[in-house]
Structure 1
Amino acid sequence: MIIEPTIHSFSLWHHFAHKPGFDCVAYADLAAELGFRGISLSLNNPEYRHLGGREIWRMDRLRDHLHGIGFSLEVDTSGTNPAHMTEMLTVAARMGASSLRTYTRHGGTPDQMMAATLRDLAAVAPVAGDLGITIVLENHEDFTGPELARIVETVGHPALKILYDYGNSQMVLEDPEAALDAVLPHVHSVHFKDHVMVRPEHAGQLTVAGVPIGDGALPLARLTKRLLDHGLRRITFENVWAYSAPIRPQRAPLAGVTLGEGAFAFADPPFDPGFLVLDQSQLAPDRLVDLEYRALIRGKTAFDAILRGLGCRFSG
């Protein structure tokens, strides 16, 4: 089967932050050199993060460049406030993006978070539909698979789908395969990444840590096979080396989760910085850029091998 491999800009966030001259166009060109056929771009701060600023010329410049190299585009934000989402949907449409990723920023109990998120998305989904943009709600360290599916099913609008992240269910102590069971009918896009768990005595609290793809504990081939069998053909690579996140409060291990086993296997120190970094402040900026690129290339090799092992060929 032919798939379209794409890459998320978070994969190179230290390049954006620390490498002189590295911007969204340089990112797209590097993605093309590495064999990807599209990008996801984070616009997730007031200055539209990896776009480099809010100016219209920046949007048009990247749109035209991507069109010239035959690349697809998806963009990211966070929060579900209808006014914010309407702004970002307009930006996505101008840039030629097919989808806008978001996640909730509401607080409170899971039920309170769900209710507020649902109200927001019910209000803005028709706007997305009119613009021809799909809103993809990510399981981003907040909702379980069933909770996310319930929001989408209750809104019931064709412009609202789900972005399934391979590892984010771990922050709510939900097995990644169980999360996929719940959301699969609604999945529009994915973040293909790898994680390990780190014990509280090594990280200060029970923590999920990103590692190069292929070096972690997530069941990457099994998850991907299920998604391919369901018809998914656009798969987004996300290098999350040097990322970490604590387990969410108010969450207890769900059925099938045993800490220290399977996807929740612990990594033990000493930690090689090429594998796992918990405190980025201990590394100089140029070292972060170098290690990030090494992790990306190592992960891309594993990513390609997993997909080819599942019978995939790459478009382009």
Structure 2
Amino acid sequence: MLDGNKTLVALDRLQLTRLIARIDAIPLFAHSYSHHLNMRFGDTSPADMLSFAHSHGLSGLCIHVDDGEGRSLSAMSPQERSKFGSDAIELNLTIHVETSSTSRADLADAIAVANDIGARSIRCYPRYEGSVSSVMTRTIEDFGHLDQLDPQQRLRFTLEQHEDLKSYELAAIARQSGNPRLSLLFDFGNMINAYETPDAALEAMAPLVTEVHIKDVKAGEDRGGWSQIACRSGEGMIDFPEMLCKLLLLGSDQAQIGAFALQEENGMLSPAFRFPDEGADPFIPWRAPSTTEPPADEPLMVRLEQERQDAARQVDYVRGVLADLREAAVIRLAC
């Protein structure tokens, strides 16, 4: 476990008091990607993800509309989705929906799912091919349709940094879109592919961040840039106490982050998209949504069991980091 004491050295008493209160009330969510292989190759369903979140005492579930293949929210009937939403309410779980696109058609589909299950938040990210400037322009245009797609304005939308755009470019998209219901989602590792460090990315995004994906990663050399290699929490490059402390302290009167989703991705590998010598307006290649493939040299059932264990372990690991941070803050306040 990393030492939380050094993280707290620069905090004043108000910040320490605020940190303790926000640790006590942190909205930890399960994330369906932590069971990605089980949802693709096993029999884990969205209902099973509700059970996982509830059994671990979490506040909610972030779930992609397509996770679960033929059992996914997208594949369900409106009546089945309504039952899923009712089950979540019964378990006192908040549901956030995710989709891997910003196109009008895909946002409309995600909004229909969200409305059926009673979700109030949709995460998205662009997957356009072209120059960075053209990707940004198209994404801003996509967000211009939000009020038409959600005329009752009941939904919030988060734009995730997802491997290709840099953090200041995402902030520019959110600001230029001009929609107060659009904010940013900070992922602990997705900036690596854009040749950014986690600290630099958070600094650029911080004023607009309202949701978080928690995971650990390593950076690999890739054609002069960095590939992202996801690993078990605590085994990579992320300073969890530092990162969680910074995120928890965002917002003055009230916490700025509404969901910290536990997204263990051990084994996920994605290539570099941005490079130090790329020029002013580099080209972004098209890519499919993120996926993780099971290792060829390991029996599938062994890998599925390992994924389930990793997901449960991450819950304990993050709670351990938070407990250590809280204890260190209490001790410093007593001095």
TM-score by length of 2: 0.78
Aligned residues: 285
Q: Shift of residue 206 of structure 1?
A: 5.1
SS in 1 for 2:144: helix
Match of 1:218 among 213, 238, 248: 238
For 1:18, the aligned partner's letter is: F
Distance 1:48 1:110 in 2: 34
RMSD over aligned Cα atoms: 2.5
Structure with bigger gyration radius? 2
Q: Which amino acid aligns with 2:30?
A: I
Partner of 1:60: 82
Equivalent residue for 2:315? Answer: 300
Equivalent in 243, 250, 271 of residue 246 of structure 1:
271
CA 5–46 in structure 1, closer or farther in 2 if over 3 Å, else same: closer
Q: What residue identity is the alignment partner of 1:89?
A: I
Distance in 1 between residues matched to 2:91 and 2:230, nearest whole Å: 30
> In the alignment, which residue of structure 1 is the partner of 2:33?
10
Return the alpha-carbon distance in structure 1 between the equivalents of residues 198 and 216 of structure 2: 11
Q: Percent identity of the aligned residues?
A: 22
Single out whichever of 129-138 and 92-101 deviates more from structure 2: 129-138
Matches within 5 A, 1:103-142: 103-125=125-147, 127-128=149-150, 130-142=152-164
Cα offsets for 1:250-280 (capped at 9, x unmatched): 42289xxxxxxxxxxxxxxxxxxxxxx9862
Q: Does 1:191 align with 2:191?
A: no
Map of 1:24 onto structure 2: 46
The corresponding residue for 2:176 is 154
Q: Which amino acid aligns with 1:132?
A: R
- Tell me if the contact between 2:74 and 2:113 (Cα under 8 Å) persists in the aligned partners: no
Counterpart-to-counterpart distance in 2, 1:49 and 1:179: 35
Deviations 1:171-228 (A, max 9, x none): 1011111111111111111101100123459xxx953111111111112221211111
Partner of 2:28: helix, strand, or coil?
Answer: strand
Task: State the AA in 2 paired with 1:5.
Answer: L
1:176-187 correspondence runs (5 A): 176-187=198-209
Give the number of the structure with larger relative contact order, counting CA–CA contacts within 8 Å between residues 6 or more apart.
2
> Which residue pairs with 1:145 in the alignment?
167
Change (3 A) 1:144 1:118: same
* Distance in structure 2 (CA, Å) of the matches to 1:253 and 1:140: 20
Q: Distance in 2 between matches of 1:30 and 1:66?
A: 12
Q: Which amino acid aligns with 1:298?
A: R
Query: Per-residue deviation at 1:47?
Result: 6.2
Deviation larger for 77-86 or 187-196: 77-86
| Aligned twin of 1:164 | 186
Q: Where does structure 1 lack aligned partners over 5 or more consecutive residues?
A: 255-276
Paired letter, 1:77: T
DSSP-derived class of the 1:51 partner: coil
User: For residues 313 and 201 of structure 2, what CA distance do their matches in structure 1 show?
Assistant: 27
2:7 maps to none
Q: Structure 1 residues 150, 23: closer, same or farther in 2, change over 3 A?
A: same
Residues 92, 306 of structure 1: alpha-carbon distance in 2 compared, 3 angstrom cutoff: same
1-structure distance, mates of 2:56, 2:229: 25
CA distance change for structure 1 residues 129 and 171 in 2, over 3 Å: closer, same or farther? farther
